[in-house]
Amino acid sequence: MAHLKLKFFSLAAPLALGFFCHTVQAQTTPAAQIAGYVAQSGQPAQAARGQEFFTAKHGKDWSCSTCHTAKPTVDGKHATTGKVIAPMAPAFHAERFTDAAKTEKWFRRNCNDVVGRECSAAEKADVLTWLASLK
């Protein structure tokens, strides 16, 4: 019986540690995500380009600012559902861009709605740089 307990703990500990490490790794900062996108794109991020991308239409009916407002330091509202959206600027919503998986999920969904494709790493870096600059 002791042998079974030892086997259980020898398997459970690495699994628990792996889960803990995964959870810790999921936590990030806007700056870390920007750095990752900049590394992927191979070009520096530009806040002005991010603001332009955020407020412009890209061939579809919506821009990012349609739901998130042109001033993403305040609440927005989804254009179809009417659901309130917390401010996009990290200085005005502490949880914004602290989970890389969530950031990717929402970029994937929103870029498809706004641009009709996934956003490039450069576009993501630019938008995040602009949002992070808002104080």
Tally of structural domains, the chain: 1
Per the domain annotation, does 5 fall within a domain? no
Per-residue confidence in pLDDT tens, the chain, 135 aa = 555 554 544 444 444 444 444 444 568 999 999 999 999 999 999 999 999 999 999 988 899 999 999 999 999 999 999 999 999 999 999 999 999 999 999 999 999 999 999 999 999 999 999 999 999
Q: How far is CA 69 from the centre of its chain?
A: 17
Per the domain annotation, does 6 fall within a domain? no
Give the domain range for residue 100: 29-133
Per the domain annotation, does 19 fall within a domain? no
- What are the Cα distances from residue 77, in Å, to 9, 54, 72, 84? 49, 15, 11, 4
- CATH number of the domain bearing residue 122: 1.10.760.10
Per the domain annotation, does 86 fall within a domain? yes
Cβ–Cβ under 8 Å, residues 87 and 72: yes
Per the domain annotation, does 70 fall within a domain? yes
Does pTM top 0.85 for this prediction? no
Per the domain annotation, does 8 fall within a domain? no
Per the domain annotation, does 37 fall within a domain? yes
Contacts of 94 (CB under 8 A, 6+ apart): none
Cβ–Cβ under 8 Å, residues 114 and 62: yes
